[in-house]
Structure 1
């Protein structure tokens, strides 16, 4: 399993930002096999973590046309800066 960690410093968020984020979250899960997607915002910082079965699914998601359009809007409007990390999960511990 893999995780994509998206960290951003926010510039501004508008109604389109929230609509786009929700739409993309659903698209990632339904069309590309994202297992889980969580996001947190604190003041002007955001972190989102998505979980994926394979790197191929991550790559397909990255190249989705709607996602690419949102990436452009993120660079030009919504984020001052951002960083993406793709990590392989070696081990998981749980206490449900």
Structure 2
């Protein structure tokens, strides 16, 4: 089974979350799993791809959404807000969030 998200034909949207973590887990792993589970149940969610953190602690997660409204609704979800606030106060030394419109994609599989 592929770890790549199965997305529809464009256009759709990608939210790219790049982060550097602070030391220690402090509940991060449990919350990250919960956020993927919760996001997956949201209207307009299309999929998610996440990399392992590199040796410098950089991690990248890309979630895919049908619309900007779906992204906005996810951003405002009450439990997601708790995760955002805890991320700022506890889990991340810094992060960057980018929202992009996907206008073209291609796929290769051997």
TM-score greater than 0.5 by the shorter chain:
yes
Matched position secondary structure for 2:105: coil
| Gaps in structure 2 of 5+ consecutive residues | 1-11
Tell me if 1:26 matches 2:75.
no
- Indicate the residue corresponding to 1:80 in structure 2: 93
- Indicate the residue corresponding to 2:5 in structure 1: none
**In 2 relative to 1, CA 82–91 (structure 1 residues): closer, same or farther, beyond 3 Å?**
same
| Gaps in structure 1 of 5+ consecutive residues | none
TM-score of the superposed pair, with normalisation by structure 1? 0.93
Aligned residues: 96
Q: CA RMSD in A?
A: 1.2
Moved segments of 4+, more than 4 Å: none
Of 48, 51, 71, the match for 1:37: 48
TM-score of the superposed pair, with normalisation by structure 2? 0.82
Maintained 8 Å contact 1:32/1:57: yes
Largest Rg, 1 or 2? 2
* Structure 1 CA distance for aligned equivalents of residues 21 and 58 of structure 2: 6
* Structure 2 CA distance for aligned equivalents of residues 32 and 20 of structure 1: 20
**Larger relative helix fraction:** 1
